[in-house]
Structure 1
Amino acid sequence: MEQTIFQHMETVRGITEQSIKKISEEIANIVPKGFNNNIHWNFGHIAFIQEKLVYGVLGEQMSLPIQYEEFFSAGTKPSEWKGTPPSLAEISSVLSEQKSRIRQSHQGNLHKKLPTPFTNRAGITFNTVGETFLFSFYHEALHIETIKRIYQSISVK
Structure 2
Amino acid sequence: METVFKTWKTSRKLYLDFFDKYSLDQLNKIPNGFNNNLIWNIGHIIATQHKLIYIGSDLQGYLSDEVFNKYQSGTKPTAPVSQQEADGLRSLLISQIERTINDFENGTFVTYNERTTGVGFHLTSIQDAFECNNFHEGLHLGYAMSIRKFV
Pick the TM interval, shorter chain: 0.7 to 0.9
Task: Summarize the Cα distance change of 1:60–1:110 in structure 2 as closer, same or farther, 3 Å threshold.
Answer: closer
Mapped to 1, the partners of 2:124 and 2:109 lie a distance apart of: 9
Matched, 1:117 2:136: no
Shift in Å, 1:36: 0.9
Q: What RMSD, in angstroms, separates the aligned Cα atoms of the two structures?
A: 2.4
Q: What secondary structure sits across from 2:150 in the alignment?
A: helix
Say whether the 8 Å CA contact 2:24–2:83 is kept in structure 1. Answer: no
- Report which of the two has the higher share of strand: 1
**Alignment gaps of 5+ in structure 2:** none
Check whether the contact 1:38–1:78 (CA below 8 A) recurs between aligned residues.
Answer: yes
Give TM-score, length-normalised by structure 1: 0.85
Q: Deviations over 1:67-124 (max 9, x none)?
A: 1122101111113x5x97962211010110011111100127599541x312111232
Contact 2:41 2:140 in 1 (8 A): yes
Residue equivalent to 2:129? 132
Equivalent residue, structure 1, for 2:146: 149
SS at match of 1:53: helix
Give yes or no for the alignment of 1:17 onto 2:16.
Answer: yes
Runs of 4+ in 1 over 4 A off after TM superposition: 83-86, 108-113
Q: How does 1:34-53 map to 2 (within 5 A)?
A: 34-53=33-52
- Contact 2:121–2:132 (Cα < 8 Å) also in 1: no
Q: Aligned residues: percent identity? A: 27
TM-score, normalised on structure 2? 0.88
User: Does 2:90 align with 1:92?
Assistant: yes
8 Å Cα contact 1:111/1:128 also seen in 2: no
Number of positions where the alignment pairs a residue of Structure 1 with one of Structure 2: 151
